[in-house]
Homo-oligomer: A and B are copies of this chain.
Amino acid sequence: MSVTAAKGFRAAGITAGIKDSGNPDLALVVNDGPRLAAAGVFTSNRVKAAPVLWSEQVLKAGQVSAVVLNSGGANACTGPKGFQDTHATAEKVADVLGLNAGEVAVASTGLIGVTLPMDKLLPGVETAAAALSGHGGEKAAIAIKTTDSVHKTAVAEGAGWTVGGMAKGAGMLAPGLATMLVVLTTDADLPAADLDKALREATRLTFDRVDSDGCMSTNDTVLLLASGAAEVTPAYAEFADAVRQVCDDLARQLIGDAEGASKDIRIEVVGAATEDDAVEVGRSIARNNLLKCAIHGEDPNWGRVLSAIGTTSAAFEPDRLNVAINDVWVCRNGSVGEDRDLVDMRYREVRITADLAAGSETAVIWANDLTADYVHENSAYSS
């Protein structure tokens, strides 16, 4: 599982002391090759953390030999000092492992606007390097957790090759391209251009369609590293499918562990004129606080679905809209449909189907309900 499921990778997760809690807070993933091909997608938030700015530059060359990730501090909105700290972290990794700092990606997560304790982080890099192992994927996944209650890993197997990965993310979880830290590894032998294409396709349909709380992070990073150690070059479609499978699995785990959530809401928009329309409508429903409260209260309040659809620019006629909640079509032709008392909402997963009756395009967006626990967790986070 995790980032060491594929051959050619070592990883470690250790406690550097960045977190006051004493929980693991530093992860290192190393690609031992023979290939160092890599691709990455990053937050589209215009306020980007220092490690995002750094790693975007690193990824331009399509080569990554190591990734260092810390929890306990986002290193976002930290000015020139923050960028220097990221640079120093990459240099330290390069120094300890005999690599080129320009091939070391950096990712950080935690509170915005606080500089990292470099006196703890840099010695931590040495500890992590000493702990690197072909079985360290699980520990690395644990070390990148913030408010996550569980660590997240996934794997997909091809014919003689593997794609594995780890993810963290529980709040500030809405697509920007992606909304979390994710590292995927594969031992398949593919050029960086193919990795890039497969990763962009996969994130567009998975992480980019997760919208837990409408809040886009400054630190989102999704990396895909290929070692070529399996000495197999799979057909592109087959490889892209495996990457999407792993991303989908991790995205679903993120929603299932979102801060304070009691429901996972699968919003399927059908009958849209375009895919963009379907995504816009799905997101509008996903972000409607009143609907999210209603789902929490197990109330099939379809009027709030319609009022959310009505704020979009998608093609539809109000008197042709249909809405199902857990397969009961409670709204037909923009008006009262089947009896809402038929809707059973006891289970964690709730399915909303919105039919725009305007075409044949579809999209699925995953969201969470809005709960008092979310409020409690996020009104006390930094204090």
Contacts and interface: CB of A to CB of B under 8 A. Distances in A.
Interface of A: 45-48, 74, 76-79, 81-82, 111-115, 171-172, 176, 213-218, 287-290, 293-294, 296-297, 299, 301-304, 306-312, 316, 318-319, 321, 331, 333-336, 370-372, 374-383
Given A318-B47, A375-B293, A303 B381 contact: no
17 contacts: A45-B311, A46-B311, A46-B318, A76-B306, A77-B331, A79-B334, A113-B335, A214-B287, A215-B288, A215-B290, A215-B304, A216-B311, A289-B378, A293-B381, A294-B381, A297-B379, A372-B375
A326 to B, nearest CB: 16
Contacts of A336: 77-79, 113-115
Given A371-B375, A382-B294, A77 B299 contact: no
A114 B382 CA distance: 43
Nearest to A47: B310
Nearest to A333: B79
Nearest to A111: B303
A317 to B, nearest CB: 9
Contacts of A74: 303
Nearest to A293: B378
A45 B307 contact: yes
Number of copies: 2
B214 A301 contact: no
A129 to B, nearest CB: 30
Contacts of A372: 372, 375-376
A290 B213 contact: yes
A112 B215 contact: no
A177 to B, nearest CB: 12
A330 to B, nearest CB: 8
A301 B381 contact: yes
B79 A307 contact: no
Find the residue from A171, A218, A287 having the highest chain B CB count within 10 A: A218
A78 B303 CA distance: 10
A331 B74 CA distance: 16
Contacts of A215: 288-290, 304, 307-308
A111 B306 CA distance: 12
Nearest to A213: B289
A45 to B, nearest CB: 4
A77 B379 contact: no
Contacts of A288: 214-215
